[in-house]
């Protein structure tokens, strides 16, 4: 059926041309007409020229007889035309149409040449002579061209004028080897052919149906070439086969010379002269013009996109020619001749038509064996497409319905009726991004065009125009496969060293526009250079993602700065992402999920292709991220928030992908972070130099640091280092969508675990140090304490100082038992901050500053972290400098006021807290653990920590919160003199010693006395909890009790001192006093003498069961039992009691009396008691005598004066 339709169509076209034969035949007696059908006219192009083939130049002007008026009644004129044909036939002047010779018909080359020409139109005509008339000759027989035809054209085509025209103009890139006469004849021949009214009549007949649908064409004036031109403009919309064949052949004739294109010479004369593309001459000078096939048009096409380029009207003509020649590359004369060999090499199997050959050639444009001339012409053609999408036949055809449906043709746009490719691509992409349907064929054409745009800068007029200088200066020699565009991208990334952008503003805008037009953020294959560089990474790290999926770019970003990333891919990826990050719409997934919310919350434009929002780069994305964690109605939807976080996590790896931060910090990056900074570490560098940054930069870095404290994924390098540790210790937190700082706290809590790797631990420490710079950098602390900060510590920003300020308020309220001023949430978070601070001295800058020399002197072998330095300082606190000692004492006060902030203690006792004190207040766990200290299940490590804290508390009552509470009134009452000594360090147990002296005398409050007794019992077991004893007997213990000191918590040291005392080996008054105190305390309460109590425990239970402890009651019971011969005590108990009695007797002799009664008792027991009595009596007698004598020595006074 298709073949039948083609035959019928050919027959129909042939009949029209036969009609034209009659209309164009020269009347009797007239000069020969070059348009005579039999002699080469419109119908058959089969005959000669004039009578006998006279020289054309001798015939003067053509004598055509155009039909008068406009085309008003096509049918009427057709009838006249038919009648005229009949008259000619009756006169015997109609030429015969013999068949094509068999050899010519079977010639493959001839078949190509005659393709699309109705058979009868292509048939050569035999000479038809009539008596007295003029014969009709072929072009080959014309005197002007006879020699050229014989020299240049094959013998088998000389009988057909169409074939001769093909030979003379389509087979050779230049026609300068034609004789001037033939050249001029052919040009005049074709020009008159396109202007003749009878060709319009032929168009009305062959294209009747299309013309009926195109009133803008049918109403045009005939005889001016307007009708044919109008039909050519609408060729793509014409489906009628015979009309289409007619127009195709006419197009090949018209495009053989720019003069034949309607209005071309008129509109482009100025530009032709301006750019020296040829010389438009008068009728007599035509032969002097360079008639290289398509030369003038090609010359003008090269000027597309230049700054002082073509005038608008000439531009329209160039683009119109491009549209008309879009479907068949033969019609682009310069391209056809430049690429004939390349077509045979690369596209041999591609049939011509519908732009297929051109598309094939473009795909091979960067092949090494593509000729330079063809490549240059392809680039020019692609630049035309950039200016007018219709120049691309496939795009215009396959996207026609979508363009129409989505209103992408804007007739009033600045470029007039020619819609730029960028406008069409953006308009169609806008529809795609909004979830509307665009045909697959159309999207395929869009994909091809985008790849072309990203592969060659030369086809983008905006890049060529605005980036010419940059390309010459910065990117010379890089022209193929997108390398120039990536070179521009690379130089478009701001230089931190010079704080400048190497691209001009207009060039930056052009590159940004190109990235958007190519929609490179959707499919990485759009960017040829990126695809080539990253293909190895895609094949390994992203192999499970479907090709063309937008997630491939996302996957590549996820692997940036990882071992799987290659350097070249990394560079290209960052260059592309730099521009994508400056327009939030270029991430397709985020745009689809967030478009409505961006419009509602961030003043973003409603359309994807909106270019008039005038918003700074990155502002919309920053706005969206600020709404991710909102708690009110402005919070982003779940889907949008997910995409925003994804993009933020990917871009946080490099400061250059954060436009607002990069702009603010460019100079700071150059000053502080231009050297010795690893890739991706720029943000850490800025954070480390936070105090030195410019105001604008510090604000941006601060904002980012605040965000990263809430969302740890923003620190990609940190997360990569800690990924295994997170999986091991914090898996439950990772499973949550929002961690709100909990993930970092989890890592901090596990920072000193044995399995923690060093890189992760270093990263955690860095995060903690950064957070010290500003309390807002710690998300949880900021949220919990912001109201308290405003109320009580308003002017403090530094987190360390703020923690000190708030913790002091909490501590004072705790000690004074006042209602807490600081909120419960803040107290809880403050406890966390103090605990973290206790882990590393670097987290307490002031302590670090005061103790720096001491650390170097005493703790230089200790590693930082895990509270090792702090514990070392405590061990050497007697040797520390005053400033360091004060800081350390204050730290101890905080830790012993709230045990939960004592890192070292909590580290050692965490399991025991869970076992023995699960319900206890965290800040009072020490009190709970002290009660269970001697439990058989108590961990030795924890037991040691408990003892160490007890020793610290014994050194100063201010370190014992419980004592301060229970003895709040007793301390100022009985120890006022000691308190008057204002000291910022330990009081060496003097206040506690003061209170111990009042025990058993009914002077202390009951709760205070009970607590002091408990302290006495604990100190009796471990001498280190008795700082006065430890200090007073230091030399004695070293000399006499060194062996016992190896077990200081068994009471053996105290027992040793007592023995040495009773043996009179202790001569130091200070030590004697302390040992005497021990003996007296033990006499008052047997529990204060642990060894005696241990030996007599069964006897106490047996003989003193009903006697309460304290005030020497149980001791008196045992002494009575010792004197009672009927009572048999345990041997060990009996021996210990006898030893104690001897000690007490010796102590009574040595100990100074504290009261008058004790003095009298001691004197009466003394062997020299008579001496003391005599001395006292003598003293009294002397006083009496002195009174008697001095009373008479005073002046006598009258009694009345005395009684006054």
Q: Is the pLDDT of residue 281 over 70?
A: no
- 600 lies in a domain? yes
Lowest model confidence (mean pLDDT) among 163-172, 696-705, 1010-1019: 163-172
Indicate if the pLDDT at residue 18 is higher than 50: no
Residue 1093 CB neighbour total at 10 angstroms: 22
Task: Say if residue 324's pLDDT is above 90.
Answer: no
Instruction: Please provide the DSSP assignment of 44-111 as one string.
Output: T--S-SSSTT--GGGS-S----PPPS--S-HHHHHHHHHHHHHHHHHTT-SPP-PPPPHHHHH-HHHH
pTM: 0.69
For the ranges 734-738, 956-960, 1064-1068, 1154-1158, the lowest mean pLDDT is seen at 1154-1158
Which of 10-14, 157-161, 630-634 has the lowest average pLDDT?
10-14
Average pLDDT for residues 1127-1139, to the nearest whole number?
Answer: 88
pLDDT at 322: 87
The model's pLDDT over 1026-1076, given as tens digits with 9 standing for 90+, comes to: 999 999 999 999 999 999 999 898 889 998 998 898 888 888 889 998 998
Looking at the predicted structure, is the pLDDT value of residue 193 above 70? no
What does the pLDDT look like over 168-184, one tens digit per residue? 766 666 666 778 788 77
- The CA dihedral of 274, 278, 283, 288, to the nearest 10 degrees, is 140
Structure confidence at residue 71 (pLDDT): 37
CA–CA gap between residue 369 and residue 1098 (Å, rounded): 110
For 698, other C-beta atoms within 10 Å of its C-beta total 21
CA distance 1037 to 1070: 13
Residue 51 burial class via C-beta count within 10 angstroms: exposed 0-12, middle 13-18, buried 19 and up: middle
Q: Pick the residue with more confidence: 1001 or 300?
A: 300
Which pLDDT score, from 0 to 100, does residue 1169 have? 66
Q: Give the closest residue to 115 by CA, choosing from 243, 236, 10, 2.
A: 10
- Give me the pLDDT at residue 824, please: 92
Tell me: do 1180 and 1123 sit in the same domain.
no
Q: Which residues, in sequence order, are CB contacts of 293 under 8 Å at separation 6+?
A: 169, 172, 173, 174, 175, 256, 333, 334, 337
Task: Please state, in angstroms and rounded to a whole number, the distance separating the CA atoms of residues 19 and 21.
Answer: 5
- pLDDT given for residue 465 in this prediction: 85
pLDDT of residue 92 exceeding 50, the answer is no
| pLDDT over threshold 80, residue 1017 | yes
Q: What is the pLDDT of residue 496?
A: 59
Distances (CA, A) of 949 to 677, 799, 966: 44, 27, 19
Burial of 21 (0-12, 13-18, 19+ CB in 10 A): buried
Last residue of a domain, one of 318, 338, 370: 318
Higher pLDDT, 95 or 936: 936
The Cα angle at residue 203 between residues 199 and 205, in degrees rounded to 5: 115
* 880: confidence class by pLDDT, cuts 50, 70, 90: very high
What integer pLDDT is reported at residue 49 of this predicted model?
29
Least confident span in 530-544, 604-618, 631-645, 796-810 = 604-618
- CB proximity list for 392: less than 8 A, separation 6 or greater: 326, 355, 385, 421, 445, 449
Whether residue 73 is predicted with pLDDT greater than 80 in this model: the reply is no
Q: What percent of the chain has pLDDT over 70?
A: 80
List residues bridging with 500 in a β-sheet: 495
Q: What is the mean pLDDT of residues 366-394?
A: 90
Torsion of CA 505, 511, 513, 519, to 10 degrees: -150
The model's confidence at residue 75, banded by pLDDT at 50, 70 and 90, is: very low
Domain boundary among 628, 647, 666: 647
* 246 and 298 belong to one structural domain: no
- Cα separation, 384 vs 323, whole angstroms: 9
**pLDDT given for residue 874 in this prediction:** 92
- Residue 150 in any domain: the answer is yes
Domain shared by 169 and 290, yes or no: no
Q: 500: helix, coil or strand?
A: strand
pLDDT in tens, 1186-1202: 877 776 555 665 666 55
Cβ contacts of 181 within 8 Å, gap of 6 or more: 55, 56, 57, 144, 145
> Residue range 688-716: average pLDDT?
90
In-domain check, residue 767: no
∠ Cα 232 238 240 (to 5°): 120
Question: Of the residues 318, 348, 363, which one is the last residue of a structural domain?
Answer: 318
Q: Is 1179 within the bounds of a domain? A: yes
Distances in Å between the Cα of 1116 and the Cα atoms of 1082, 1086, 1140, 1148, 1153 are: 12, 10, 12, 17, 21
635 contacts 627 by C-beta, under 8 angstroms? yes
Q: Are 285 and 305 contained in the same domain?
A: yes
Answer whether residue 685 is part of any domain: no
Query: Between 97 and 609, where is the model more confident?
Result: 609
- Identify the three-state secondary structure at position 731: helix
The pLDDT of residue 951 is 92
Same domain, 243 and 275: no
Clarify whether residues 2 and 143 are in a common domain.
yes
**The pLDDT of residue 86 is above 50:** no
Average pLDDT, the chain: 79
Residue 235 falls inside a structural domain: yes
Give yes or no: residues 1067 and 1188 share one domain.
no
- Report the distance separating Cα 340 and Cα 170, nearest Å: 11
Pick the more confident residue, 307 or 837.
837
Helix H, strand E, coil C: the string for 294-341 is CHHHHHHHCCCCCCCCCCHHHHHHHHHHHHHCCCCHHHCHHHHHHHHH
Examine the domain organization and report whether 1192 and 1069 are in the same domain.
no
pLDDT digits (tens, 9 = 90+) for 453-506: 898 888 888 888 888 888 888 887 666 678 899 999 998 887 656 656 788 999
Query: In this structure, are 1109 and 1073 located in the same domain?
Result: yes
Which three-class secondary structure state does DSSP give residue 495?
A: strand
Q: Is position 63 within any domain?
A: yes
- Residue 1171: is its pLDDT beyond 60? yes
Give the CA distances from residue 612 to residues 315, 337, 408, 932, 1054, in Å, rounded to whole numbers and listed in that order.
26, 44, 17, 74, 89
1096 and 1185, same domain (yes or no): no
Residues 284 and 300 in one domain: yes
Residue 438: pLDDT band by 50, 70, 90 thresholds? very high
Mean pLDDT, residues 5-27:
41
Query: What pLDDT score was predicted for residue 633?
Result: 82
515 pLDDT exceeds 70? yes
Residue 465 lies in a domain: no
Based on the structure, what is the number of domains in the chain? Answer: 5
Backbone angles phi and psi of 136, in degrees to 5: -115, 125
Asked if pLDDT for residue 981 goes beyond 60, the answer is: yes
Give the confidence band of 417 by pLDDT, cuts at 50, 70, 90. Answer: low
**pLDDT for the residue numbered 158:** 76
Examine the pLDDT at 113 and tell me if it is beyond 50: no
Confidence of residue 40 (pLDDT cuts 50, 70, 90): very low
Beta bridge partners of 495: 500
Q: Which domain holds residue 312?
A: 258-318
pLDDT of residue 1162: 60
Other C-beta atoms within 10 Å of 663: how many?
15
Phi, psi for 414 (deg, rounded to 5): -55, -30
Per residue in 1104-1118, pLDDT (tens digit) is 888 887 777 888 898
Neighbours of 22 (CB within 10 A): 21
Residue 1144 shares a structural domain with residue 1185: no
């Amino acid at each position: 059926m298709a073949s039948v339709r083609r035959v019928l169509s050919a027959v129909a076209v042939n009949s029209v041309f036969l009609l034209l034969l009659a209309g164009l035949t020269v009347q009797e007696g007239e000069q020969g007409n070059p348009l005579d059908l039999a002699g080469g006219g419109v119908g058959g192009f089969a005959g000669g020229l004039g009578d006998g083939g006279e020289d054309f130049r001798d015939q003067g002007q053509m004598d055509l007889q155009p039909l008068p008026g406009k085309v008003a009644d096509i049918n009427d004129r057709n009838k006249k035309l038919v009648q005229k044909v009949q008259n000619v036939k009756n006169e015997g002047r109609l030429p015969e149409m013999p068949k094509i010779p068999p050899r010519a018909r079977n010639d493959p080359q001839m078949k190509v040449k005659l393709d699309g020409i109705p058979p009868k139109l292509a048939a050569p005509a035999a000479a038809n002579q009539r008596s007295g008339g003029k014969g009709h000759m072929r072009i080959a027989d014309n005197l002007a061209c006879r020699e050229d035809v014989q020299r240049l054209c094959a013998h088998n085509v000389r009988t057909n004028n169409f074939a001769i025209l093909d030979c003379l103009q389509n087979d050779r890139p230049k026609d300068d080897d034609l004789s001037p006469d033939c050249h001029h004849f052919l040009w005049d021949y074709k020009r008159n052919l396109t202007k003749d009214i009878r060709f319009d009549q032929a168009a009305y007949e062959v294209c009747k149906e299309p013309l009926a649908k195109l009133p803008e064409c049918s109403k045009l004036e005939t005889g001016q070439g307007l009708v044919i031109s109008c039909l050519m403009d609408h060729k793509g919309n014409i489906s009628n086969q015979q009309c289409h064949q007619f127009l195709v052949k006419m197009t090949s004739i018209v495009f053989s010379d720019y003069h034949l294109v309607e209005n071309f010479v008129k509109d482009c004369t100025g530009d032709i002269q301006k750019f020296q593309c040829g010389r438009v001459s008068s009728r007599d000078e035509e032969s002097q013009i360079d008639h290289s096939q398509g030369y003038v048009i090609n010359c003008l096409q090269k000027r597309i996109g230049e700054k002082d380029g073509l005038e608008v009207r000439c531009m329209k003509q160039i683009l119109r020619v491009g549209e008309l020649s879009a479907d068949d590359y033969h019609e682009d004369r310069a391209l056809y001749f430049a690429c004939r060999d390349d077509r045979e090499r690369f596209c041999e199997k591609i049939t011509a038509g519908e732009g297929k050959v051109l598309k094939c050639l473009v795909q091979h444009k960067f092949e090494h064996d593509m000729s330079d001339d063809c490549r240059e012409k392809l680039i020019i053609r692609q630049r035309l497409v950039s200016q007018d999408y219709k120049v691309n036949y496939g795009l215009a055809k396959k996207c026609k319905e979508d363009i129409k449906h989505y209103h992408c043709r804007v007739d009033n746009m600045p470029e007039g009726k020619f819609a730029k490719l960028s406008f069409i691509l953006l308009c169609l992409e806008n529809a795609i991004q909004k979830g509307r349907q665009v045909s697959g064929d159309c999207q395929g054409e869009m994909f091809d065009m985008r790849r072309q745009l990203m592969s060659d800068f030369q086809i983008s007029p905006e890049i060529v125009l605005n980036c010419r200088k940059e390309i010459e200066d910065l990117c010379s020699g890089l022209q193929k496969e997108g390398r120039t565009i990536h070179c521009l991208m690379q130089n478009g990334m701001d230089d931190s060293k010079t704080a400048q952008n190497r691209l001009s503003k207009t060039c930056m805008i052009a590159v940004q526009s190109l990235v958007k037009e190519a929609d490179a953020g959707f499919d990485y294959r759009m960017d040829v250079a990126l695809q080539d560089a990253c293909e190895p990474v895609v094949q390994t790290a992203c192999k499970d993602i479907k090709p063309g999926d937008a997630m491939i770019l996302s996957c590549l970003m996820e692997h940036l700065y990882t071992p799987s990333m290659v350097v070249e891919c990394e560079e290209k990826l960052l260059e592309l992402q730099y521009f994508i990050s400056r327009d939030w719409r270029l991430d397709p997934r985020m745009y689809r999920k967030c478009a409505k919310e961006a419009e509602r919350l961030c003043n973003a434009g409603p359309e994807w292709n909106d270019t008039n929002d005038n918003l700074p780069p990155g502002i919309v994305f920053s706005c969206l991220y600020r709404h991710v964690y909102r708690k009110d109605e402005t919070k982003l939807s779940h889907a949008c928030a997910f995409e925003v976080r994804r993009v933020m996590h990917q871009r946080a790896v490099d400061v250059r992908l954060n436009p607002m931060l990069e702009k603010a910090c460019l100079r700071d990056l150059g000053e502080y972070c231009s050297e010795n900074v690893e890739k991706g570490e720029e943000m850490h560098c800025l954070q480390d130099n936070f105090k030195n940054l410019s105001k604008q930069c510090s604000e941006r870095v601060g904002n980012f640091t605040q965000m990263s404290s809430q969302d740890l994924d923003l620190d990609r390098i940190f997360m990569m280092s800690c990924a295994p540790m997170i999986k091991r210790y914090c898996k439950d937190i990772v499973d949550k969508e929002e961690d709100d700082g909990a993930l970092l706290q989890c890592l901090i809590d596990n920072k000193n675990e044995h399995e923690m790797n060093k890189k992760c631990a270093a990263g955690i420490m860095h995060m903690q140090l950064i957070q010290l710079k500003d309390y807002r950098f710690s998300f949880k602390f900021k949220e919990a304490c912001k109201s308290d900060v405003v109320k009580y510590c308003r002017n403090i920003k530094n987190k360390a100082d703020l923690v000190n300020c708030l913790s002091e308020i909490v501590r004072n309220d705790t000690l004074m038992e006042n209602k807490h001023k600081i909120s419960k949430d803040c107290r809880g978070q403050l406890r966390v901050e103090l605990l973290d601070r206790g882990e590393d001295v670097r987290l307490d800058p002031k302590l670090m500053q005061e103790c720096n020399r001491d650390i170097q002197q005493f703790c230089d072998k200790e590693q930082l972290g895990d509270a090792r330095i702090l514990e070392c300082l405590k061990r050497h606190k007697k040797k520390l400098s005053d400033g360091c000692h004060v800081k350390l004492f204050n730290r101890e006060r905080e830790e012993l006021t709230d045990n939960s902030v004592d890192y070292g203690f909590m580290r050692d006792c965490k399991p025991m807290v869970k076992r023995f004190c699960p319900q206890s207040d965290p800040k009072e766990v020490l009190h709970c653990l002290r009660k269970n200290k001697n439990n058989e299940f108590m961990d030795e490590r924890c037991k040691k920590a408990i003892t160490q804290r007890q020793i610290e508390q014994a050194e100063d009552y201010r370190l014992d919160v419980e004592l301060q509470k229970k003895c709040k009134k007793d301390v100022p009452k009985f120890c006022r003199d000691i308190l008057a000594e204002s000291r910022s360090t330990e009081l060496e147990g003097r206040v506690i010693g003061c209170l111990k002296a009042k025990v058993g005398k009914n002077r202390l409050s009951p709760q205070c006395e009970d607590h002091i007794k408990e302290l006495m019992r604990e100190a009796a077991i471990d001498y280190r909890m008795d700082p006065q004893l430890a200090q007073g007997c230091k030399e004695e213990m070293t000399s006499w009790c060194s062996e016992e000191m190896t077990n200081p918590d068994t009471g053996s040291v105290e027992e040793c001192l007592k023995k040495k005392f009773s043996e009179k080996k202790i001569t130091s008054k200070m030590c004697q006093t302390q040992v005497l105190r021990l003996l007296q305390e033990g006499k008052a309460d047997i529990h204060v003498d642990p060894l005696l109590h241990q030996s007599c425990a069964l006897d106490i239970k047996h003989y003193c069961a009903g006697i309460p402890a304290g005030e020497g009651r149980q001791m008196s019971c045992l002494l009575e039992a010792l004197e009672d011969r009927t009572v048999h005590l345990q041997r060990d108990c009996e021996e210990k009691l006898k030893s104690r009695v001897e000690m007490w007797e010796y102590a009574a002799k040595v100990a100074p009396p504290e009261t008058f009664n004790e003095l009298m008792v001691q004197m009466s027991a003394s062997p020299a008691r008579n001496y003391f009595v005599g001395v006292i009596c003598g003293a009294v007698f002397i006083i009496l005598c002195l009174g008697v004598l001095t009373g008479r020595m005073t002046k006598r006074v009258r009694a009345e004066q005395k009684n006054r």
